Amino acid sequence: MPVATQATVKSLTPEEVAGIGGRVVLSNAYHLYLRPGVQTVSSLGGLHGFMRWPGPILTDSGGFQAFSMGSLRKVTDAGIRFRSHLDGSEHHFTPELATMNQVGLGADIIMCFDQCIAYGASERQVRQAMERTHRWAAQCHRVHRDSGAWPGRALFGIVQGGTFSHLRDESTQAITAIPFDGYAVGGLAVGEDKEQLYGFTGQVAAQLPQDKPRYLMGVGSPEDLVEGVARGIDMFDCALPTRVARNGAMFTPDGRVDVTKRRFAEQHGPVDEECDCYACANYSAAYVHHLFRAKEILGLRLASTHNLRFVLRLMERIREAILEERFTSFSREFLDRYRPTDE
């Protein structure tokens, strides 16, 4: 899922995102609640009308962002009290408010309100946040059920449990005991190493229902997508492709390259010879390099287009490989060739 935190996939129009192959976009209830406000979005046709994205929209509940972006936050069993990163105003998110915010925004896939604990927290702290997340999940489920949801709107539960294997098992059991429409693995990609990220992803995914979507939150890079699917994940969201694009980092089958480097100054061919995106079909790497050097807006638009196409096409190729029962060889070939950075 391309990330549209502020109701926009940064620098791209909805038509461009759809043209790249985007199907579901992810937006954020924390940001939109603070600005422009749920009521404003709702009165402008909900998120679909407001941002002109006709396809499905998933919203994150805001707990994770209140925690990572808000200040002076205080978590109790009732919810999270925090100060806005925009104007310092004080707010209180509860499972009920977080759910109703997403309903008000008109999201198609709503995420439970959870507490994602920092990497390195003690087992006691992780357990407390996890048990709170389980109680909140039950509340979100009840609120969503009673909110008059239109048929087809989904609510996903989120597994927590930090980097404690037994807590991950416990959380998976508690969350899957509630009949959500899909299940997410939360609390990863927060500072643990790759071995832990992949290990806990595999452990949790193996215990999630096979017939419902399994979503790894906030992941990932091209190699993480392949590793995640290998462990049973169906859905991902990550700001990385568009965020690094704005700094000139572009994905290629051989790995991530920095197009601002001298070696691209005279490259006549596209950044990625094998890519079918608008940028690679029409522009030389030398031109994209020039745009970044000259700090021209088109540079980051072309790089964003390319990186999003790269990860969306990677997922298309993964789906094809799975259907043709050759995912194992596909993933081996991809990972053997792909270098995460060119430094």
What x/- string results for residues 310 through 339 when contact with Zn ion is judged by CB under 5 A? ------------------------------
Kindly determine how many residues on this chain lie close enough to bind ligand PRF according to the rule CB under 6 A: 15
Rounded CA gap, 86 and 194, in Å?
A: 33
98 C-beta neighbours (distance < 10 Å), count: 29
Residues paired with 249 in a beta bridge: 258
Which span sits near Zn ion by CB under 5 A: 63-71, 134-142, 204-212, 305-313? 305-313
Contacts to ligand PRF from residues 199-218, by CB under 6 A: 217-218
Task: Report if residue 301 touches Zn ion, rule: CB under 5 A.
Answer: no
Instruction: Give the CA distances from residue 301 to residues 6, 13, 58, 282, in Å, rounded to whole numbers and listed in that order.
Output: 17, 10, 23, 13
State yes or no: is 276 an active-site residue. no
Task: Report if residue 300 touches Zn ion, rule: CB under 5 A.
Answer: no
Q: How far is the CB of 154 from ligand PRF (least distance, A)?
A: 15
Contacts to ligand PRF from residues 226-265, by CB under 6 A: none
- CB-wise, 192 or 258, nearer to ligand PRF? 192
Task: Report if residue 63 touches ligand PRF, rule: CB under 6 A.
Answer: yes
Task: Report if residue 136 touches ligand PRF, rule: CB under 6 A.
Answer: no
* Tokens 């909900």, located at residue: 46
Rounded CA gap, 263 and 26, in Å?
A: 35
Task: Report if residue 51 touches ligand PRF, rule: CB under 6 A.
Answer: no
Contacts to ligand PRF from residues 299-328, by CB under 6 A: none
Before 220, cis peptide (omega within 30)?
A: yes
- CB-wise, 64 or 310, nearer to Zn ion? 310
Instruction: Give the CA distances from residue 254 to residues 103, 264, 267, 299, 339, in Å, rounded to whole numbers and listed in that order.
Output: 42, 15, 16, 21, 6
- CB-wise, 106 or 220, nearer to ligand PRF? 220
Task: Report if residue 223 touches ligand PRF, rule: CB under 6 A.
Answer: no
Rounded CA gap, 25 and 14, in Å?
A: 10
State yes or no: is 87 an active-site residue. no
Rounded CA gap, 191 and 48, in Å?
A: 34
Contacts of 40 (CB under 8 A, 6+ apart): none
* Tokens 């190699």, located at residue: 223
Contacts to Zn ion from residues 257-286, by CB under 5 A: 272, 275, 277, 279-280
Contacts to ligand PRF from residues 175-204, by CB under 6 A: 186-190
Q: Give which of Zn ion, ligand PRF, none residue 280 binds (C-beta under 5 to 8 Å, depending on kind).
A: Zn ion
Catalytic, out of 114, 224, 237, 272: 237
Q: How far is the CB of 307 from ligand PRF (least distance, A)?
A: 19
Show the DSSP H helices in the chain as ranges: 14-20, 29-34, 38-43, 46-51, 63-69, 95-105, 123-145, 165-176, 194-205, 222-230, 240-245, 278-282, 285-293, 297-323, 327-337
Which span sits near Zn ion by CB under 5 A: 156-164, 182-190, 298-306, 322-330? 298-306
- Can you give the length of the chain in residues? 343
DSSP conformation class of 108: S
Task: Report if residue 107 touches ligand PRF, rule: CB under 6 A.
Answer: no
Residues that bind ligand PRF (CB under 6 A): 60-61, 63-64, 111, 114, 116, 158, 186-190, 217-218
Residues near Zn ion (CB under 5 A) are 272, 275, 277, 279-280, 306
